[in-house]
Amino acid sequence: MHVTILGGAGFLGRKLANRIVADGKVAGRAVTGMTLLDLAPATAPPAPFPVTVMQAGLDDYEKLRRAMPDGTGVVFHLAAVVSAQAEADFHLGLRVNVEGTRNVLAAAASLPAPPRLVFTSSVATYSGGQQALISDATRQVPANSYGAQKIIGELLVHDYARKGFVDGISLRLPTIVVRPGRPNKAASSFASSILREPFVGEDALLPVPESFALFIASPRSAVAWLLHAAGLASDAVGLDRSINPPGISVSVAQMLAALAAAGGDRARVKPVDDPDIMKVVGPWPARFDTARARALGFAEQPSLDSIVAAFLEDDLAETKALRVS
């Protein structure tokens, strides 16, 4: 079986590719080839099967189709314009997150057999603020363009699956912490920065109060959920193809305490006033009832301390290297 990762140069795409190589299979099927497509050049991990690297945007249908050769059984669609950037450049977000996702689905639908397509949506599709409790039945009312674009993507995946063109699953990922490398243009970038920068001897900017809470998950959990979604039985999922995986709710104060407990310098975290970031993240809810995901076998996110420990073990060395390169 061939596997395609769109967004293969991103941190999550790289981790997913490495895990697939290590496992040698996805959804219980042996992997015989893999394609990594991104705007930036991905690095092919050493693998016992062919790994093809392609550079293209989601607007290039022909390259998308070539990235999914006949025999592709699973497509992971991780590519996106992230939250703050999508809010600042509405048309770019629409072009990539909506029109690009439409191209991805059209390319996948042209395969001889419908592939399992796993789409990364986001908890940013919800609003309601800090007091909201989100259940699987909660109506999605986004408070930013990124969230709206991800909902459109979910609906496209839903309808392509309903029609039998693809076998689609959408995962509304929590905020992923700790992202390795450098800060990106996501509005939630501070959530990783406050647990990352102090360990490399740099300051981190905190644009929200310490009482602010987030629904988070580690890269390890995100990769495990993506692979679990790839193997879910369609009958078990049913008509509703969107799932809220079981992250954890933590406050910034708890994150800073975990930083200090792991030996990080809490004084490196500097409060700042950033109304643009608060406008995007302020409506995000932090509490989720994830009963459906747990019933479908998605593993719960371990403790906050384990998230910090995983970053130190998996990504600190690489992150330090990037700061001196």
Question: Is 60 exceeded by the pLDDT of residue 174?
Answer: yes
DSSP single-letter state for residue 99? I
- Catalytic residue, chosen from 61, 126, 146, 160, is 146
4-41: pLDDT as tens digits: 999 999 999 999 999 999 999 999 999 999 999 999 99
Q: Residue 55: which of 66, 70, 69 has the closest Cα?
A: 66
Q: Is 146 a catalytic residue?
A: yes
Q: Model confidence over 212-270: pLDDT tens digits?
A: 999 999 999 999 999 999 999 999 999 999 999 999 999 999 999 999 999 999 999 99
Looking at residues 191-202, what average pLDDT do you find? 96
Element (H, E) at 22: helix 11-23
| Residue, of 323 and 236, whose pLDDT is higher | 236
pLDDT digits (tens, 9 = 90+) for 140-155: 999 999 999 999 999 9
Tokens of 262: 């792991």
Inform me whether the pLDDT recorded for 309 exceeds 90: yes
Long-range contacts of 159-165 (CB under 8 A, 24+ apart): 160/105, 160/108, 160/109, 160/117, 161/241, 162/239, 164/114, 165/105, 165/108, 165/109, 165/114
Domains along the chain with CATH numbers: 2-174+218-243 (3.40.50.720), 189-214+248-285+302-324 (3.90.25.10)
Q: What is the mean pLDDT of the chain?
A: 96
Express each pLDDT in 48-107 by its tens digit: 999 999 999 999 999 999 999 999 999 999 999 998 899 999 999 999 999 999 999 999
pLDDT at 325: 56
pTM of the model: 0.96
Gap between the Cα atoms of 139 and 152, Å rounded: 14
Q: For residue 290, what pLDDT is reported?
A: 98
pLDDT of residue 231: 98
Q: Are strands 29-30 and 33-38 parallel, antiparallel or unpaired?
A: unpaired
